[in-house]
Amino acid sequence: MKAIWNQIWNQRRANAWVWAELMVVNVLLWYAIDLIYNYEGAAWQPKGYDTEGVFTLKLNNKPLDIINDEVNGNAAEDFTYLYNAIKDYPGVEAVSNYYGSVPYTDEVMFEGYAPHTDSLHVVGCKIRYVLPEYFDVFRLKPIAGRLDVEKWKYAEVPMPVLMSKELADSLFGTSGPDVIGKTCFNPYWMNKPNPSLRVTNYQVMAVLPSHKLDEYQQYEPFIYLPTPNPYPLFWQHMAIRVHPDYVAGFEERFRKDMQGTLERGMFYMDYIQSYADMKEAFDIEQGTVNYLNTAYAVIAFFLFNVFLSILGTFWFRTHKRRSEIALRMAMGCSRQGVLKHYLTEGWLLLLVAAVPALIICFNIQMGDLTVHTLMDVTSGRFFGCFLVAVGVLALIIAFGIWFPAQKGMKINPAEALHNE
């Protein structure tokens, strides 16, 4: 190892350019990998609920001019009939209607809640009013507490709620078992003229995993509340979980079989769509797809140039030293020993360049010059992305050394000595 260090030092003038190239490329490569992590790391995070095999069904109301008093009076009975018809359709495992923030859409309901111990500490959050079946549809499993179906009622005092980890942490400073039974209130409802609307006491029944409405978003506070009655007539967003064996072609079959059935009284079926299709359409609508395609194309072009640049540098260096390689072979050095020598030299040059590159990257991070719109800046993210960048460069260097070194080891040692 000492001999390799001495050789690097003796050739410091020539190695200075290689060192500078490695340092600059290391910084740029780290930045590119960090950018990818910001988006792909967020995409790989769980949303907090499972939308695979889930479809959204929207029932709508017919125009008011064709709805008479008799039709309007039978609305509750008609909606119950439709709900049961959907629940009994082949392949349906669970169904629930709900109101509030809808995944992969701009339909968002937002309110603020505060703990009774600090009325000025109001935390904004997304809300959903749901039936107990909603938690079966989206396979929501509490991380603390449990859902008590018997007490999941709007008229229960205090009203039970399920909240995400972020909301529990923000309101009470914890999301563990200690938060179960704690209470909060909604300042918005306190001044309502109708006393029945002045719900001032919500009690935490359970805490749910971290939530977000889309993969390319940050986690946000969420709260779930019971619906005011079993089947709210104007809350016609319905979520349907379908058995995996029935998912393929379910949308077309359901539309064909149920279009007529779901046209009853004041209701008709507007559309049915899988959450997978909703996500795809939403990402296109929000410009996420175009942005990522453009960003990744630029990064891919940059990585290709990095590959050619570093590969060419070390390929040329090793190719010029073929006689030296042959001489080492003539002096009894094994193939593995020769290859190890030049790989170690290349990786030591990378290590020397990585030290100032690390300092530069750290200052870029501290200067808030990286993209962290979706994933928080952490030491794990910083060092992880930096080590990946160094690892990629190490692999390129290894390839740039290995191939010409193999050719050099095939030169006749006598010919190499003669040339020297």
Asked if 297 and 413 sit in the same domain, the reply is yes
Q: What local confidence, expressed as pLDDT, does residue 154 receive?
A: 86
* 56 bridge partner residues: 239, 273
Residue pLDDT tens, the chain, 420 long: 665 555 555 566 666 788 888 899 999 999 999 999 999 999 899 989 999 999 999 888 877 655 565 556 677 788 888 889 999 999 999 999 888 888 888 888 888 999 988 888 999 999 999 999 999 999 999 999 999 999 999 888 889 999 999 999 999 999 989 999 999 988 876 665 555 555 568 999 999 999 998 888 899 999 999 987 765 555 668 899 999 999 999 999 999 999 999 988 888 899 999 999 999 999 888 888 888 889 899 989 988 888 888 878 777 776 666 666 666 666 666 667 667 777 888 888 898 899 999 999 999 999 988 888 888 889 999 999 999 999 999 998 888 877 776 766 666 665 655 555
pTM given for the model: 0.79
Asked if 12 and 137 sit in the same domain, the reply is no
Pairing, β 202-208 against β 267-274 = unpaired
Q: How far apart are CA 50 and CA 242, in angstroms?
A: 12
C-alpha angle 410-17-335 in degrees, rounded to nearest 5? 20
Q: What local confidence, expressed as pLDDT, does residue 231 receive?
A: 58
* Residue 363 within a domain: yes
Structural domains counted in the chain = 2
Distances (CA, A) of 228 to 87, 108, 161: 21, 19, 13
Grouping H, G, I as helix, E, B as strand and the rest as coil, residue 192 is coil
* Residue 222 within a domain: yes
Asked if 136 and 199 sit in the same domain, the reply is yes
* Residue 354 within a domain: yes
Asked if 330 and 410 sit in the same domain, the reply is yes
Domain end marker among 198, 233, 268 = 233
Q: What local confidence, expressed as pLDDT, does residue 316 receive?
A: 75
Full residue range of the structural domain in which residue 109 is found? 98-233
Nearest to 48 by CA among 194, 295, 271, 217: 217
* Residue 244 within a domain: no
